[in-house]
Structure 1
Amino acid sequence: MTPVSHPAATIVEPDSATIAHPLDALYAEDLESGDAPAVGQSVTRVDARDKVLGRAKYTDDLCPRNALWIKVMHSTIAHGYVTAIDTSYAEAIPGVVKVLTCFDVPDRPFPTAGHPWSTDPSHQDVSDRLLLNRHVRYWGDEIAVVVAETELAAKAGVAALTATYDELPFALNPLDSMAEGMATIQEDYPGNVLAHSRLSVGNYAEAIKEPGLIKVEGTYDTGTVQHCHIENAICFAEAQGDRITVTTSTQIPHIVRRVVGQALGIGWGKVRVVKPYIGGGFGNKQDVLSEPLCAWVCLQVGGRAVKLDTTREETFVSQRVRHAMQIKVTSWLRPDGTFAARKYESYSDQGGYASHGHSIAAKAMNCFHELYQCPNVEGDTWTVYTNKPTSGAMRGYGIPQAMWAGEGHIDDICRQFGFDPLDYRLKMIMADGHVNKFSGNENYFDSPRQTLLAGAEAFGFRQLHAECEAQDPAARIRRGAGVASFWYNTGVWPIALESSASRMVLNEDGSVSLSLGETEIGQGGDTVFSQMTADAVGVPFSDVHVVSTQDTDVAPFGTGAYASRQTYVAGFTIRQTANLLREKILAHAHELTNMPVAQLDLVGGRIVRTTDGRELMTLKELATEVLYSMKHSEHIAAESTYQIKTNAYSFGCSFAEVEVDVDLCQARVVRLLNVHDCGTLINPALAEGQVHGGQSMSIGLALQEELLFDPRNGKPLNNNLLDYKLCTTVDHPDLEAMFIENPEPTSAFGTKALGEPPTCSPAPAIRNAILQATGVPLYHAPMTPHQLFARFTETGLIGESLHV
C-alpha cells in the first residue's frame, strides 16, 4: 500500500506533453521511444487537441443540413388522459410536414434502461413506455410531435396544437402515491409500487431485546437532481433501403440499437447506431431517450433525415433525473458503540416510468449493510411510481443517497455517544478479508482504514477537528470538519451480463488501430484504453490509434459506459486480444528472422531477441513486409470477446472543512479532500480529473441542487440553468485528491472503479462538518439556506437573539 498524492495537472503549450505525475518527467523522453510503460503515466489525452481546436465532431456537427426538425408537444397536466389533440392549425403552418400524436403510435411498450438484455424474462427491464403517451404521467410527458422543414416552423406547429385532458389525482412523493385511493400511474402496478425488496440478516427482532441497548434513529432524504451535462440529448435518423441509421449522443450505442428495434418492432439488424463524441452524460444517457421516437418519425416521413434536439428545459423534465430517496436508519448500540442490530427503510421516487427502476434502491440498501458490518440487519426498500419526471441512472447509482443517510447517521451516533467520528469509523468499518456472499467481492486490503488514515494525516483532520470543537459556541461564523466513507462495486456482475470485445489491426507502419464497444463520454476512456493496449501489445503509446466513435455495424460488442466498469472490463479483452495479436506478429517474426518464437519478444515497437536483447527488426519493417510479401501476405488483426465474471470493491472517503454563517444560514465549503483506493492508476491526471468532477457534483447535492415542483399542479418550477442552482467555480473550494494504489487481484491491469465513487462521500462529509460547526443535525439534501434556517430555528440555534 502506497499513498500517492498527485498534483493538479499543469497547463502547457499545445505542442508539449501534459506532465501531471511526479515521475512523468523521468519518463517523458522514454515514452516517445516506447521503452517506458504507458500504464501509470499522465500522458496527454488522445482527444485533447481535436476538442480544444474544435475539430471533434459531435452529433449536431454530423447531421445533414436538410434534415427535418422534430419538436415535441409536452403535457400540461401531471396525471390524466389525453382525450383529443387538435392538429388542424399546426398542419396549416407553412413548412410543417407532418403532425403525429399519441393516437398514431403503435401500442408496443418498450423499456429504456441502459442495462444488458437477457434471454431470461426475469432479468429484463420493465416495458412501460410508448413512443408518445396518451396516459400522461407527469407534467411534460410527450404526447405529440411536429415535423417541419425549419426549427421555427416546428416550434410554431407545437404552439398551435391544442390538447384536451381527462385529469386524475397526482402524487409528487412515494408515500402519497402509495396512499389508499390514489390513482394508478402504471396500469400493471396497482398501488403504484414498482418493486419492493427485503433484507434480512440474523434475527433483528431478538437482537433488539438485549439489555442495555441504546437506540439511535434518523430519517434522511435527498431531493430530485438533474445531470446537467453540457450537451443536451440529441439524435438524428435517416433510412437507407430497409435499414435505419440513428446517430446519437449516448453512452450505450449497442443497447440503443436493441431498444430501437424493440420499440419499432423490426429486426435489430435493421438498426444501425452511430455514437460520435458526446458532451457528457453522467448516467442520463445511459437510458434510451429520444432515439426510438426519432427513428419512428423518420419512417413516417419516408425515411428522410430527421433531427430531435432537446432544449435545456426539456432535458430537465423529459429526460432522466436522480432518484429522490427517503431513508430511515435505526441502530441499536451497546455502550461501547458496537452494533447489536440495525434497520433500514427507504422509499425511492421513480417518477412516471420505470427506466432503471428498483435496481438503484436495492443497491443503496445493500451498500448500507456492507460498509459497517452488523450481525442482525433488517431492511425494506420500495421503489414507487409518482407523477414526476422519470428517475434513472445518475453518477453513483443510489450510493450517494445511501451514503448521505448512512454516513450522516454514523456522525449522529458519534454525537450522541461522544465518540470521535474518525476513530469510530476506524473501529467499525469493513475489515480486510470480508467477502460478499452474493457477488464474490473480496476486500483484499485494509483499504477503508488506509484511506481514512492517509486522508486524516494529509488533511490535518485531528488538529482541525479539535480546534473546531474548542471554538466559541456563540460565534456567528463557525468552522467545522467532517469525514465520510464509502464503498462501491465495479461493474454489474453477477446481477447482469458483463462482456467486452475489442479488435486490433496492425497497420503497415507498425501502428495498431484499436476498436472497442466501450465508449468515450468525456471521461478519458479512449486514452486509458490506448495506454493499456500500448503496454499489452508492446508498442509506443503514440502508435496506438483508437477509434473514438462507435458504429454498431462495425464496432465490437460492448454494453457501454456505466457502473464504473469500462477500465476494468475493457482491460480483460484488451489483454486477451493483444496476446492474440502478439502471437501472430511473433510467428511472422520467426519466419523473417529464423529465430525460435520462444526467443522473440515485441518491446516498444521492436522485435528483439530475448537472449541478448538485440533488435532484429522494427515492427514497421515487419508489418510492411508481411502485408506486401510475395511469399506470405497476411492482414494481421485480432479480435476477441471476454465475459467478465468477477467484481471488485472500490473504497474511499472525504474530508471537508466548512464555514457556517449562523445568522445568514449559509454554509461554505473551505476545503475538500477525497482519498480513493481504485487500484492501479492507468493515468493519474485523468484519475484526478474524475475525482474533481465527482466532488463538484457532490457539493451541488449537498448545498445547492434540487429540482422543485409546484404542489398545486406538479409543474416544474426551476427547470433551467438560471433557477436551478448548479455549482460554478465560485462555489468550489480547493479540490484535493489522493490515491492509495492497491492493485486489484481480479483485474487484468489492477484497476477498479473510479468513475462514480468520487460523488459518494463528499456530501455527507460536508453535512457532518456543518454538524460539528453548529451542533445541528441536518437531514435533507441540499442543505440550502432555507433548510438551515428551518433547522436552526427549530433547534433554537437562532431565534429572538440574533447576532448583531
Structure 2
Amino acid sequence: MSKFKEVGRPLARVDAKDKVTGRAKYCYDLLPQDHLVAKMVLATIGNGKVLSIDTSEAERVPGVVGVFTCFDPELPKTPFGTAGHPWSCDPGHQDIQDRWILTDRVRQYGDVIAAVVAEDTVAADRAVRAVKVEYEEYPLELTRHEAVDHPEDYPPLHEARPNNIIAHVDNRTEVAGGYDTIEEILEDPSLHHTHVEVTTPRQSQAHIELCLSYAYAEGDRITVVSSTQLPHICRRIVAQALERPWGDIRVIKPYIGGGFGNKQDILYEPLNAWLCEKVGGRCVLLELTREEVFAYTRSRQPKECHLDAAWDDDMNLKARKLEGWSNQGAYAAHGHALMANTANSFRQEYSGVELAHHGIATTFYSNETTAGAMRAYGVPEGNWAAEVLMSDIAHDMGWDGCDFRLKNFMKLGYRDPFWPGPLCCYSRGIEECVAKGKELIGWDEKQKAYKDQTGPIRHGVGVALFSYKTSVAGLSLETSNVRMNLAQDGSVMLQMGATEIGQGADTVFSQMAAETIGIPTEMVHIVSQQDTDVTPYDSGAYASRQSYVAGTACKKVAEELRQEILDYAHFLFPKQQMPYDLRDGVIYDIAGNAVTTIGEVAIQAYYHPTNAKQIQAQDGINVQENTFAMGACFVDLTVDIPMATVTLNNIVEIHDSGTVLNPKTAEQQVHGGIGQSAGMALSEELLTNPKDGSIRNNNLLDYKIPTAMDLPDLTAGFVETYDPTGPYGNKALGECPCIPAAPAIRDAILNATGVKFYDAPMTPQRLFEGFKKEGLI
C-alpha cells in the first residue's frame, strides 16, 4: 500500500475527457485558416551532388508563392545539429553539427534540396512534381563493409570524418580471479565459452500524429507551433539554424499524438521557419505525409553485435565481451549516444563482482536514412544482445533461465564504472519481479509440460530480464523548472516545462503537486501546452526523466507554495498555535484544530485591503543522482513450424519502478511498450532498397505493426520498492516496457523448438529458414 495519499491513486488521466471527446487541441487544430502550404523537394538519389535545379515550370503553377532551392543566396550557411539534447557551453560536449536547411550534397535518399510554398496543397504538390533536378551520382555506402571497412573506395559523406566513423569507444573493467586480461578468461579451457552474432532492426516509432509544424512572424520574431517533445530545445536549434538570436524564436507545443523519440529530434522546423521568413512572415504549414514520416524522419538505429562469454559450472559468468556497430545513416543526429547506451546496458544488466567486461562500440555514417531516438534509446538492442546470450547459455547447460539470470543480475549498490557521474543501483526488487512473473505465467508447470515436444505444433515459455537507468544525470545536464499559482478558490495552477506527449505525465505531475501541497489532485489544474515565452525551462520528454527530474522540481516548488500558503494563513490568524499543517485543503494548528481552508486563504490573499498578493512559487533543480529501474518479462507462445508462425498466448511483465505514481497510467505504459517490443521481435523492420537507399515499406500496410489481433491479453505487474533518490521513491517507467518482451519471445521460441535465432525481427521467412536449417521442415 502506498505511503502517500495522492501519489499512488489510480486516477483517470487528467486529459482523458478532452482527448476522447475531441476537445483536445493538437497542432493542426490550432492552424490559422489563412495559412500557406509548404512541400519539400526530396532527392531521388542516395549519394551524390545536385548540379542544377530548374524551377521555372514549378513557379508557373497557379497558386505557387515561391520555390526555394539549396542554391538560394540567402540560405543560412551555418550547419546545425538536430538531436534533442541539452545545450553545452563546452564545444567538446555539443552534438555534431552536420545538417543544413537545404543541401546540394545528397547523403541519403530524401535529402531536402528545395521547397515549394503555395496557397494550397494541390498547388504545392503540382509544383514539386514540376521541379527538374540534375545530379552527379556517387556509389552508395549502405553497409558497414562499404562505409567503414573500405571508406577509401568512396567519397566521404562528411569531410570532417573521412573514415565515416562518428565515434569509437573501447572500455574494459578490471580483471579479477588471478587473470591478467579478459582474453585469458575468454580462452581459459577450464571454463565454458560461446560466441554469437546478433542484429536488431531499423524500427519506426509509428506514432499516430504526423510530424508537422507551422510558423508565422510576430514583429521581428518567428513563432513555430510544433508537434515536438522538447519545445525549449526546438527554439534553440531553430535559432541556430537561422543564424538568429535565440530570443527571436518562440515555440509553442500543443497536445501531441505520440512521439516515442522521433520528435526528440528537431526535424523540419528550421526549414519551416526559414520558409516563413522567405514569404514575408506569412503563416506556413509544413506537414509530412505518412510515407515521408516513415522514410525521412528518424528510426531506431540498426545494430550488429558480436558477443563472447565465459562461465563456470556454478552458473557464474566470468567474462563477457561485446563488439557493436551502429548504422547511423547520413547525419549524426543523436550520434554515438545510442550505441553507447546499447553497450552500457549490456554491461550494466549482468555485472557480477568478479565478472570482467570488454565493450567496443562504433557508430558510423552511411547513405541509409538517418536514425535517431526511439523509446528506450538503444537499450532494447543491448538487452536483446544480453538476453540472447543468457538464453543460449541456459539452454545449452540445461539450467533454469530464471535462476541463471538472477545469480548474475546487477546487485544492490552497483555503480557503473564508466558513467561520468553517480549511476547506482539504489533499490532492487528483481527477485520479487521474477517470482511474481513466474507465478502469473505458470513457469514451473509449463517448463515441465513443454519438455521434449515433437510434432509440427509446439508450445514454449520464455523469460528476459532488463535494467534501465533513470534520466541522463551524471552524463548530461538534468534540470527542470516549475511554476505554481494559487487561484482565488484555493485550486492550484501548475505549469511544467516538462511535456505531456501521451504518456500521462500531466496526470502524475498533478498528483505530485497535490501530494506535497496537501490538497486533492482534483484541485490541481495543469497547463498542458508549453510556450517558450512563458513556460519555465525544461529539456523535455525523453530518457524516462520526467517523473524523476521534473518530479523533483515539482515537489520542491510545491513545498515552497505550501509554505507560502501557511505563512499567509498565520498572517490571517496570528493567535493560533504554530506550526500550521495543510491536509485535504484544510489548515490545522499544532493541536489539530481546523483554523481555515485553503480557499479562504486564497480569496483573502487576492483581495485583502492592506496585504493583497498572489501566492505563487517558481523554482528549479539540477538532479545529480541516477538510479536503475528493472524487471522481468515472461511469454507463453505457440509455434506452428510448417507455417513458420508464432502465436502469442500470454505475456506477463513485472516492473520495479520504485513507487508506482498512478497504477492506471502505469499499466497503460506497460501494455503499450509490450506491443512495441513484440513488433521488434516478430515483424517490424524498415527495409532499405540497396539500389538507391530508399525505404521500401514506408506505409502502414507494408510496415507490420502488431494490432489487437496479434497480441494476447497483457498482464502488467509491479513490485514497489522505495528508491531514495526519487522525489516520491519513484524511478523510470516510461521506456522500460518496450525492452524485454522481444528477447523473452525469442527465449520462448527456443524453448518450444530448440532453434536459436539471432536476428530481429524473427519474421516468418527467418523462422522458416531457421527451422529448415535445423531439419524441422
- For the residue of structure 1 that corresponds to 2:709, the secondary structure is helix
- 2:505 & 2:533 partners in 1: Cα distance? 21
Secondary structure at 1:781 match in 2:
coil
Question: Of residues 303, 306, 329 in structure 2, which corresponds to 1:325?
Answer: 303
Aligned 8 A contact 2:566 2:582 in 1 = yes
Distance 1:595 1:127 in 2: 63
How many angstroms does 1:248 deviate by?
0.3
Structure 2 distance, partners of 1:403, 1:376, is 18
C-alpha separation in 2, matches of 1:418 and 1:603: 57
The correspondence of residues 334-733 of structure 1 with structure 2, limited to 5 A, is 334-373=312-351, 375-437=355-417, 438=419, 439-471=421-453, 473=454, 475-595=455-575, 598-611=578-591, 613-733=592-712
Q: Which residue of 2 aligns with 1:755?
A: 734
- Given that 2:316 and 2:407 are in contact with CA atoms closer than 8 Å, whether structure 1 keeps it comes out as no
Map residues 50-199 of structure 1 onto 2, 5 A cutoff.
Answer: 50-104=18-72, 105-180=75-150, 181-199=153-171
Output one character per residue of 1:485-519: Cα deviation in whole Å (capped at 9) or x when no partner.
Answer: 11001101111000011000011111110001000
CA distance in 1, matches of 2:610, 2:718: 53
Structure 1 position 470, deviation (Å): 3.6
Query: Residue 300 of structure 1: CA displacement?
Result: 0.5
Q: CA deviation at 1:293?
A: 0.6
Cα deviation per residue 1:140-192 (whole Å; 9 max; x = unaligned)?
A: 11111000000100000101011111111112222321132133112211111
- What amino acid is aligned across from residue 339 of structure 1 in structure 2? L
Greater CA deviation, 669-678 or 368-377? Answer: 368-377
SS at match of 1:195: strand
- Give, in angstroms, the shift of residue 599 of structure 1: 2.6
1:565 partner letter:
R
- 1:446 and 1:227 map into 2 onto residues whose CA distance is 30
Question: Contact 1:587 / 1:597 at 8 angstroms: preserved in 2?
Answer: no
- What is the distance in 2 between the residues matched to 1:759 and 1:603? 38
Deviation at 1:580, TM superposition (A): 1.3
Match in the other structure for 2:178: none
- TM-score between the two structures when normalised by the length of structure 2: 0.96
SS in 1 for 2:81: coil
Structure 2 distance, partners of 1:307, 1:209, is: 61
Q: Which runs of 5+ in 2 are unaligned?
A: 175-180
Q: Deviations over 1:446-493 (max 9, x none)?
A: 42222112211221112112211143x2x1110111000110011011
Identity %: 45
- State whether residues 648 and 711 of structure 2, in contact with CA within 8 Å, keep that contact through their aligned partners in structure 1: yes
Per-residue CA deviation, residues 608-637 of structure 1 (Å, 9 max, x unaligned), is: 1231x2222111111111111112111111
RMSD over aligned Cα atoms = 1.4
User: Which of residues 205, 212, 215 is equivalent to 1:227?
Assistant: 205
Q: Return the alpha-carbon distance in structure 2 between the equivalents of residues 267 and 510 of structure 1.
A: 40
Alpha-carbon distance between aligned partners in 1 of 2:233 and 2:578, rounded to the nearest angstrom: 42
Deviations 1:418-451 (A, max 9, x none): 2221111122212223222434233234422221
2:268 is aligned to 290
| Contact persistence 1:489–1:753 (CA under 8 A) | yes
Question: Is contact 1:430–1:448 with CA below 8 Å preserved after alignment?
Answer: no
Q: Deviations over 1:249-278 (max 9, x none)?
A: 010000000001100011101110000000
CA distance in 1, matches of 2:480, 2:627: 17
Structure 1: how far apart are the matches of 2:577 and 2:212? 51
The AA in structure 1 aligned to 2:9 is Q
* Separation in 2, partners of 1:185, 1:225: 23
The number of aligned residues is 763
SS at match of 1:672: strand
| In 2: Cα distance, 1:568 partner to 1:347 partner | 31
Segments of 5+ residues of structure 1 without an aligned counterpart are 3-22, 28-35, 799-804
Answer yes or no: is the 8 Å Cα contact 1:70–1:306 preserved in 2: yes
SS in 2 for 1:443: coil
Letter of the 2:168 counterpart: H
Q: Which residue of 1 aligns with 2:221?
A: 243
Question: What CA distance in whole angstroms lies between the structure 1 residues aligned with 2:775 and 2:103?
Answer: 49
| Letter matched to residue 794 of structure 1 | K
**The one of 188, 206, 209 aligned to 2:184:** 206
After the TM superposition, which of the residue ranges 268-277 and 338-347 deviates more from structure 2? 338-347
How many angstroms does 1:333 deviate by? Answer: 2.1
Question: Contact 1:674 / 1:691 at 8 angstroms: preserved in 2?
Answer: yes
Q: What's the CA shift string for 1:40-94, capped at 9, x where partnerless? A: 1111211111111111101101111111100001111111111111100000000
Give, in angstroms, the shift of residue 695 of structure 1. Answer: 0.2
Is this contact kept in 2: 1:608–1:616, CA < 8 A? yes
Other structure's SS at 1:469 match: coil
Matching of residue 264 in structure 1 with residue 248 in structure 2:
no
Which one-letter code corresponds to 1:504 in the other structure? Answer: M
More displaced stretch, 568-577 vs 309-318: 568-577
Whether the 8 Å CA contact 1:128–1:354 is kept in 2: the answer is yes
Secondary structure of the residue aligned to 2:578 is helix
Q: Secondary structure at the match of 1:198?
A: strand
Residue identity in the other structure for 1:200 = R
Task: Look up the equivalent residue of 2:617 and give its one-letter code.
Answer: A
Once the two structures are superposed, what CA deviation does each residue of 1:511-538 show, in whole Å capped at 9, x if it has no partner? 1100010000011110100000011111
Q: What is the match of residue 16 of structure 2?
A: 48
Q: Indicate conservation of the 8 Å contact 2:577/2:589, yes or no.
A: no
Q: What is the TM-score normalised by the length of structure 1?
A: 0.93
Over residues 750-774 of structure 1, what are the superposed CA-to-partner deviations in whole Å (9 max), with x where a residue is unaligned? 1100000001100000001001111
Output the amino acid matched with 2:122.
L
Match of 1:771 in 2: 750
- Contact 1:219–1:327 at 8 Å: present in 2 too? yes
CA contact (8 A) 1:698 1:762 kept: yes
**Pairwise CA distance, 1:597:** 7.2
> Matched residues in 2 for 1:755 and 1:778: separation?
28
Q: 1:694-737: CA deviations, max 9, x gaps?
A: 00000100001111122222221110001111111101111111
Q: Is 1:311 aligned to 2:283, yes or no? A: no
For residue 334 of structure 1, report the CA deviation from its aligned partner: 2.3
Q: CA deviation at 1:596?
A: 5.6
3-state SS in 1 of match to 2:556? helix
- Residue 688 of structure 1 aligns to which amino acid in structure 2? E
8 Å contact from structure 1 (residues 194, 383) kept in 2: yes
C-alpha contact 1:318 1:390 (8 A) present in aligned 2: yes
**Structure 1 residue 108 displacement after superposition:** 1.1
1:300 counterpart residue number: 278
Stretch deviating more after TM superposition (209-218 or 400-409): 209-218
Q: Match for residue 177 of structure 2? A: none
Secondary structure of the residue that 2:450 maps to in structure 1? helix
